[in-house]
A and B are shown apart, each in its own frame.
Chain A
Amino acid sequence: MMDKYTFLQKIGIYSSLALFILFMLLPFVEMFIASLRPLTHLFSRPDVPVGETMTFMDFMSRFYSDKMSFQAYRDMWVTVPQLPRYIFNSVFLSTAVTFFSMCFIVPAAYAYARFDFRGKTISLTLFLAVNMFSGAVLLIPLYKLLRVYGLLNTYWAMIIPGVAFLIPTGIWLLKSFLEKIPYELEEAAFVDGASRLYTLRRVILPLAVPGLIVVGVAMFIGAYAQQFLFAITFNQDRDYMPLPAGIFEFIGYQDVLWNEMMAASLVGILPVLLIFLFMQKHLIAGLTSGAVKE
């Protein structure tokens, strides 16, 4: 009864929802349309004679041309020959960042989820405090640090800061997953004579696999998203450049090749979009578990 809507209410809900989603998806739709339009069409404003206003039909003509094609998706590899390399770099960097950050996150999250020890609250708070700083305020010393170790203009220049800034979030996320595994299981393993590390490896980890996957995917998406700042600051070598930085090459001195730039952007977001599509249910549940009172 309570959840029944009148016809008008239904229309209201669906149309507001449509507006909301239109706002969220408009840039992607427009990017896709732009990627299909030939450059000459992109750079032709709807013809409006002097003194007259643009009509609806004039406006609509910007969305369609009979020369629309997927040509930009072929040309972009020629305009920016390094493009495959950039895409590879993006995926490679995110994978590496995910792998290394998980190596640090798993043991720490386990400790926070399972034990009560001296300095627990304060150290956890300090970890979380790191989330308050963006990489931008630490760029200068990080630049210096990476230069001292000779890591500027290498993959490491983007991996190391990337890992560091993902660790706190990762620990926090995984901790809430691990807390849900009953500790009686570990107790049983101990009674049978298993060591602490053996228990972690053989009892806890297998049970934590769903949580590990969600946290891993969240780290991958985070790593994919944060590449830009570190890439433009710590790396000048085009061989190691990730896609978001590489896309700037479509902005020439004369023209911006908008159609190819949009095509490359859309191809570049495919990896994260695919992962998200397969994982979205678990991902949303995992990420928002903190929002619900227990």
Chain B
Amino acid sequence: MSNQRQASSASQVPHLSPAELSYLYTSLSLPKNPIRPDGRSPTQFRPLSAETTILPGTNGSARIGFADGTQAIVGVKAEVEKTVLAADTLDSRSLAQHGDALNREGEQGSAAVSGQGEWVQMSIEIPGFRDDDALPVFLSEMMRESLVGSVAGGNGDAVKEMAGGLKGRLVINKRWHWRLYIDVLLLSQPLAYPLPLLSLTTHLALLSTKLPKLKSTGEEDPFFDDDWAAAEYLYPRSNISKSLSAAPSYPVRPPVTLLVISVGDNVIFDPNREEIAVADAVLAISVTRSGDSETLKLLSIRSIDPPSRLTQPGIPNSENVNMLGATAAPGEETGGQEEVEGVWRPRRGGVKRSVIARMVKTVLGKGGVGEEVLEGLEGVEVQ
């Protein structure tokens, strides 16, 4: 337990011997075609099973299970709340309340009200961690920041509805707004760094989230249609094109956060526990599809502390006291700072800018991993 506390940002201290780490690193850093322990290609994700709308008491929910047994459930709940303006805010909104005709006119022209990031709340529960431990806090801040940060560009009716991003969608009128609670529950011990699992589950849960249809108009107190079948999706969908397949298309989708590691010259996606243990650099990259265009948009990048820094370095035979008789020239090697082939030594220092650029490019590029993931998620049927 204390080991988990120490490794705050990376999930756990890996329990691998230096020899195992060295073997893993060597096979993952093979030029051009790394060999992963489970035989995947560098950009391949672990197989997963997903379902949505599983919790009747929520506005939207999803469950994803990886083949290794880790499962996550996300429930999204929405509440209507009165908008409180900060007392010192002096903008067109407070001016308009005084009934000044001029100001009201100007205020109608601009985007009426924009939402606030605080309206989206996220909590992550991971077994073995307290809810104020660094890992759950870091993960939830990371996913929340890309969620509220995504502002849609482009045009089209549905896109216009999402003009201010998720924050703008939560506005009901000037005095009322929705508050969104996203509660993430990891059902199993985190075998790997749980970020991809939690992000994909949150994505599906938000896609299935419905809000009751608003019957009141304008600045009235909100009043909703009590027919749940008439409820509207939080992320609007347009059913215009596909005639044979019932799959709806989403002009705007929630962001997806991908976990990318670099080992040697290779860039590897969705690492499992053993792979992340030998990573040189770990990045969490959030992307979304921007508006109606086909390109992906970068929302945030965060570097994550690679757990390899916590591992124990291996000792080469030349320095090992037990091997004194076996080696040819004992005591000649000094310092022990230089790399010895086949002996594990955690990488020191940071990551070069060119490596970061390459990792981001692999995600964002045309036909890159980001598109592949979003397409895969589109294949999941959301009721």
A and B part of one assembly: no
